[in-house]
Chain A
Amino acid sequence: MKFKDLFSEIFISLLANKVRSGLTILGIVIGIASVIAMVSIGQGASNQITKSIEGLGSNLLNIIPGTLRPGVGIVSSGRGSAQTLKNDDVEVIEKIDGVYRVSPEVSRRFQIIGINGKNTNSTVFGVTENYPIVRNLNISSGVFISESQNRSLARVAVLGPQAAYDLFGDEDPIGKVIKINKINFLVIGVAAPRGSVGFVNYDDIIYVPLLTMQKVLAGIDYLTVMAVKVESKDLINQVRDDIIYNLSIKHRVDPQNPDFTIASQEDILGTLNQVIATFTIFLASIAGISLLVGGIGIMNMMLTSVTERTREIGLRKAIGAKERDISLQFLAESVVLTLIGGIIGIILGSLIAISISYFAGISTSVSLFSIILAFGVSTIIGIIFGYYPARRASKLNPIEALRYE
């Protein structure tokens, strides 16, 4: 039998069983659509995080107190639990060649009260004038905290756009007073939006002078993190080594085993992407299970089809169909069904992904890779789950088959 004739045979017999063909296709559609949607969500999350983290500053090294426990990861290491970073560490680091600026930071959550009883529970960052340079923060109105305000323990605050909205609504907050932990602060500026990364919403942050934070609000003398901006990308490793060496000497600890951890932006990015990849694989495997169920549906339908069409198979063999003609027909029927299901599934899955980013605001990305993967997977499912029924059909004895009622 010729290839073209094979297709017209398949076309005729699939159309002769529209409902059953449709239901079988549906099984594959659901499987493929969920794979596409899940992978797009994972891919989208990964892209967004990469973009946001890059937006938080480039050529950055983050110095975190405490040691990194292997297997636990940087992200989950107890931020602020160790108290080994002190304010005078900044001077040590600033002296290192290649260091552009250092931003020492302390963060805490506080209850904040605005006007008319509006309040939020936001993260307050104690920072210096270097913060906007190191962390790529822009000011949309007013000014940022200055060096002298820091030195004089000024009670001034710069609001993230989200915090500004929560505390003042549409009113201009500049010149107004907020209460952080029951202490009055004068609002001097509002930051431009930066979005959120993972669970951290950078727009909900309130910035105060570092020393005010340490002495007035928190009553501590250590730092939760130091961000170091390096002059250029190729100096990062060298600067990292110098920081480890010099800071270890100052802390009187072994440089092989320092009491702090340095993570570059790339390290954090890598870890986060790894987490997302794991998450995506998890989602995709759930979707894969529904694909498997779809495949079993195909096999079930093809086996039913072989049984129902026993006489037809017998007839085809009687008039000259060879084993190969029969098995190819059934195999191709199953592949055509899964391919149709695959194409509809890709379209549906992409639509789901697009509506998720439209309605839920989660960014998604339908990649060519996932489309090709879905095509491949649906074809392979068609072949694998169609093979057994096709073989069974081709091995039918024409005499028995013709007698079958």
Chain B
Amino acid sequence: MIELKNIWKIYKNDDLETVALKNISLEIKEGEFVAIMGPSGSGKSTLMHILGCLDTPTSGKYFLDGEDISKMNDDELAEIRNKKIGFVFQSFNLLPKTNVLRNVELPLVYAGISPKKRQERAKEALNLAAFPNKFWYHFSNQLSGGMMQRVAIARALVNDPKIILADEPTGNLDTKTGEIVLETFQNLHDKHGRTIILITHEPYIAEYAQRIIKIKDGELIDDFKNNNRRIINNK
């Protein structure tokens, strides 16, 4: 479903050139749970931006669902993001002073879906993200970090995307709430068959995924099936 072919990303600032991605080629199939791991500055976020259609590569080709993304303009990319991708960020990025339900509905607002349908789907997504319904009408800024991230996950799920991209989703959370978030991803994958790409610099978090891709200095250095997958089992 995802196919990267010889992707290069070079940032040019004045005279300074930074090669953030060097000749990356990889494939990710529907239903996979992949971790992209590497030290800070290795190019993980750059890769995620390209995978998430937030940015286009300097050279190389990116096929998502058979469509060539590399040549699309900003508005076409926005539409792809709206329909096929769900983002979960390290810093949640919820709208403050706006209630949980509205936050989750937002991608559907831009998709032009009717308010009634939006509400239904937002509530479904919140249930899927294990978000308790007694907080549905709370302002997002009144929630704890773990709760906020679950709202963000619900928002990422609400448009029924092909891929969920999570960039250091536990980076701002303590270990315990981090585990709850990871458990949510695990359930989404194991029980609901979602495709999840988890980006992290911590090997221990990467171990929750089925497959681990390691990058360093913009280069893909390892790509293997995780045979010692960590599983959270609370019940």
Contacts and interface: CB of A to CB of B under 8 A. Distances in A.
B15 to A, nearest CB: 20
A283 to B, nearest CB: 42
B29 to A, nearest CB: 24
B110 A319 contact: yes
A320 B79 contact: yes
A319 B81 contact: yes
Interface in A2-44: 2, 5, 9, 12, 15-16
User: Which of A16, A319, A323 has the most chain B CB atoms closer than 10 A to its own CB?
Assistant: A319
A126 interface: no
B87 A1 contact: no
A1 B109 contact: yes
Interface residues of B, number: 28
Interface string B99-122: 000100011011110010000000
A321 B110 contact: yes
Nearest to B92: A315
A166 interface: no
B155 A319 contact: yes
Contacts of B223: none
Contact of B106 (A316, A322, A398): A316
Contact of A323 (B74, B87, B106, B159): B74
B98 interface: yes
A315 B52 CA distance: 13
B93 A320 contact: no
Contacts of B55: 399
B54 interface: yes
B112 to A, nearest CB: 6
A320 B89 CA distance: 15
B59 to A, nearest CB: 18
A402 B75 contact: no
B192 interface: no
Q: Which secondary structure dominates chain A's binding surface?
A: helix
A318 B95 CA distance: 13
B81 A399 contact: no
Given A1-B109, A316-B110, A399-B49, A321 B93 contact: no
A12 B101 CA distance: 13
A16 B98 contact: yes
Nearest to A5: B109
B41 to A, nearest CB: 14
Contacts of B52: 318
Interface residues of A, number: 24
B141 to A, nearest CB: 10
Contacts of A317: 78
Interface in B130-171: 155, 159
Interface string B79-91: 1011100010100
B98 A320 contact: no
Interface string B170-191: 0000000000000000000000
Given A399-B54, A402-B93, A319 B106 contact: yes
B97 interface: yes
A89 interface: no
A312 interface: yes
Nearest to B96: A16
A312 B109 CA distance: 15
A318 B98 contact: no
Given A320-B78, A322-B78, A402-B93, A9 B87 contact: no
Nearest to A317: B78
B87 A319 contact: yes
A323 B155 contact: no
A314 B54 CA distance: 10
Given A12-B102, A317-B78, A398 B109 contact: no
Given A318-B54, A318-B81, A402-B89, A9 B75 contact: no
A2 B118 CA distance: 13
Interface string B17-57: 00000000000000000000000000000000100101100
A78 to B, nearest CB: 70
B54 A320 contact: no
Contacts of B102: 12
Interface in A79-124: none
Contact of A320 (B49, B95, B110, B115): B110
A320 B107 contact: yes
Contacts of B112: 1-2, 5
Contacts of B95: 12, 312, 315
B111 A320 contact: yes
A266 interface: no
Given A12-B98, A321-B78, A322-B78, A315 B109 contact: no
Given A316-B110, A320-B111, A322-B78, A311 B54 contact: no
Interface in A302-331: 311-312, 314-325
Contacts of B155: 319
A318 B75 CA distance: 11
Interface of B: 49, 52, 54-55, 74-75, 78-79, 81-83, 87, 89, 93, 95-98, 102, 106-107, 109-112, 115, 155, 159
- The 7 lowest CB-CB distance pairs between A and B, nearest first, are A320-B82, A16-B97, A320-B110, A319-B107, A315-B93, A322-B75, A322-B78
Given A322-B75, A402-B89, 5 more contacts: A319-B106, A319-B110, A320-B78, A321-B78, A321-B110
